[in-house]
Structures are given as C-alpha cells and as structure tokens.
Structure 1
Amino acid sequence: MQQPVGITFRFAALQDAETIRAIEFEASLRFMSVGMAGIADALPMHLALVERKIAAQEIMLALDVEGTCAGFVMFEPQPARIYIQELDVLTSHAGRRIGAALIGQVEQLARSCERMQLTLSTYREVPWNAPYYRRLGFREIAETELDAALIARRDAHIARGLDESKRVFMRRDLA
C-alpha cells in the first residue's frame, strides 16, 4: 500500500499520552453526527491505560511533516492474530488514507511476529466504521465463528454499556 505523502510512523512514547487522549476525544465528537451522543460525550481512555499500552509498544502514531501527531492505532497481540482496539485520525487530517496506513503498520507487525490475522470490533452502520473496514479488506465474523477471546471482548463491551446489537466483529486474513 502506498504511504500518505509526508506521513511517518513510530511507536508512541510516554510524552505522547495526553496527545493520544486528545485525538481520541476529538475523533469521538464525530459520533454526534450519527446520533450517538453517548459515545461523543464519553471521556477519553484513562491515562494509566494509555501509559500501559505505550510501555507495551501497542500504540503506533502517524506524524505529519511538522511532526504533529495526526492519528494513532492501538492494538493487542493475541495468539495467531492482532486485535485492533482503536483507530483515530484527527478530522483535520481525514481523507489522506492515514487510517489505512496505520492499519498497514499493524499488518507489518503482525506478519513480523507470524500472526496472520487482524481482528476488530466496530459499529455496523457508522460510515467510518464497518463500511470503512470493508473497503480495507475486512469481513464480518459470524456469531458462530467467535472464539472465547472475542466473546470475552463482546462481554466486556456490554459491561461498559455498548450496544452490541449495533456492532460487528471483523477480520482480515494476511495469507
């Protein structure tokens, strides 16, 4: 995949934690436009969580030519796959394929550690969620295909108050 012009990537460092939280908050505001105020009003991730993910090298940043963080992807390595937990790009940088390139960075990591699948959970009808991931080669995972780890993730979503009837698990095989 061709990289967006002027964008570089690196793992997040501790000094990036508040920037990551600010990008997440800004990205969540888009949900107001699709009537999902509960998500738009949600607080960003806890700082301690972001710092743990940074220490584990499980957040990749996209930086523009000025060195400004334009977006990030947070992920979790699992046996045989990497689960994409969150992907956010600043509205000011939207439409430049930065999100797709961040997914590409995770794909490279997955291949380097011989994990041949990317998975995620997202909203089925939100245009920048499931429809976007379909364009990137992800497909829906049928309920009958969910393994114990994905069922546990779904249960955690429900415990947080997410409406799982509006969500879908997706995967992309990296054969």
Structure 2
Amino acid sequence: MEIRPARPDEFPLLQQIEDASGAPFREHGMPEIADDDPMPLDVLARLHVWVACDPDPVGWVAAGEVDGYAHVEQVSVHPDRARRGIGARLLDHVQEWAAGRDLAGLTLTTFRDIPWNAPYYERLGFREIEPSPGLAAIVAEEAERGLDPVSRVCLRRRSGGGVHRRY
C-alpha cells in the first residue's frame, strides 16, 4: 500500500472517508460524533495530509506541529478497510516525517474509553500525558465544540521509542 501526500482534489474524498469512519460511534451510543461534520477543506489545506492508497485513498492522516511535536489532527480509515494496520502505517509515516523535522514525536487527543481510540493508540506505543499548553488549547477548543473534556485524553509517542511495524 502506497502512502503519499494527499492532493487537494482528493480532499472531498477524504471527507467521505472521515464520515464513513465515524459510523461506529453511532453504535457506541455517540450519534453526535457520528454525525459531526468532517474536517473542513480549508483546514485540510493548512495541514500536512497523507493518504494510504490501494490504489485509491482508503485512509488518511492529517498533522500539524504543536509544542515541538507532530500533532495528529485526524486519522481515518474507511470501515471497509479497517483492522488491517492502515491506521498504524499512517501514524508510522507521520512519526518518520516528524523525526525528519527534528520533532520529539507524535501527540493526539482522543476519547479515553472508546476501544478504537485511546486503547488502540496505547497498543501502538502512545502514553497518556498531562496536556502541554498547546494541547490544553486544543482540548479547550474541543470543549467549545461540545466534547466533554473528561472523556478526552492527551497521548504522546516519542521519537526513537520504536516505530510500530506489526502489519
């Protein structure tokens, strides 16, 4: 599977993948998350975005820089392609990109108790951290959008800690 930078003309497809990947939240009793709007096109345009293609995009990841780390804003894999290591490969790609920019590793915010959120990332080497100033601002923005800060967690995976390769 090829991982490459996303093209702007692919951004609407990435929104469709994000919408589809939100469906399991409905089954988990969180329809408001399942129905949440995908990342806006103008936000995608400001971030570093990569796609996993086989041959067309089936998953994607978007990252920016926050407090000396590559911050994963979104990772989405189409449910038809879930549980095949695509998300892990995308995160590894961002980790390699971060190392090339002398960033200390990866950070992200996610739901604490959703099985395919914090527990999944912890299996990939992420650990819970106290929020840095930049992460605290992100959690505050999430709260303004209606996400309960108690349900959220900040995670970090440092560079040099071993990139996940089980796929």
TM-score (norm 2): 0.92
Residue 29 (str. 1) matches residue 19 (str. 2): no
Residue 131 (str. 1) matches residue 119 (str. 2): yes
Equivalent residue number for residue 164 of structure 1: 149
SS at match of 2:113: coil
Q: What is the identity, as a one-letter code, of the residue corresponding to 1:130?
A: A
Equivalent residue number for residue 64 of structure 2: 76
Taking the TM superposition and a 5 Å limit, the aligned residue runs for 1:20-169 are 20-53=14-47, 58-64=48-54, 67-142=55-130, 146-169=131-154
SS at match of 1:137: coil
SS at match of 1:162: coil
Of 13-22 and 70-79, the range deviating more from structure 2: 70-79
Partner Cα distance (1:46, 1:23) in 2: 13
Residue 12 (str. 1) matches residue 2 (str. 2): no
Aligned length: 160
**1:59-102, Cα deviation, whole Å (9 max, x unpaired):** 110001xx211100011123421001111001111111000000
**1:88-121, Cα deviation, whole Å (9 max, x unpaired):** 0011111110000000000100111111221000
Give ranges in structure 1 of 5+ residues lacking alignment: 1-6
TM-score (norm 1): 0.88
Given that residues 25 and 33 in structure 2 are in contact (C-alpha distance below 8 angstroms), is that contact kept between their aligned partners in structure 1?
Answer: yes
Q: What is the identity, as a one-letter code, of the residue corresponding to 2:11?
A: A
**CA RMSD for the aligned pairs?**
1.1
Given that residues 79 and 115 in structure 1 are in contact (C-alpha distance below 8 angstroms), is that contact kept between their aligned partners in structure 2?
Answer: no
Given that residues 23 and 71 in structure 1 are in contact (C-alpha distance below 8 angstroms), is that contact kept between their aligned partners in structure 2?
Answer: yes
SS at match of 2:89: helix
Q: What is the identity, as a one-letter code, of the residue corresponding to 1:40?
A: A
Given that residues 72 and 102 in structure 1 are in contact (C-alpha distance below 8 angstroms), is that contact kept between their aligned partners in structure 2?
Answer: yes
Equivalent residue number for residue 3 of structure 1: none
Partner Cα distance (2:5, 2:106) in 1: 18
**1:97-151, Cα deviation, whole Å (9 max, x unpaired):** 0000000000100111111221000001111100000000000113xxx221111
Q: What is the identity, as a one-letter code, of the residue corresponding to 1:155?
A: A
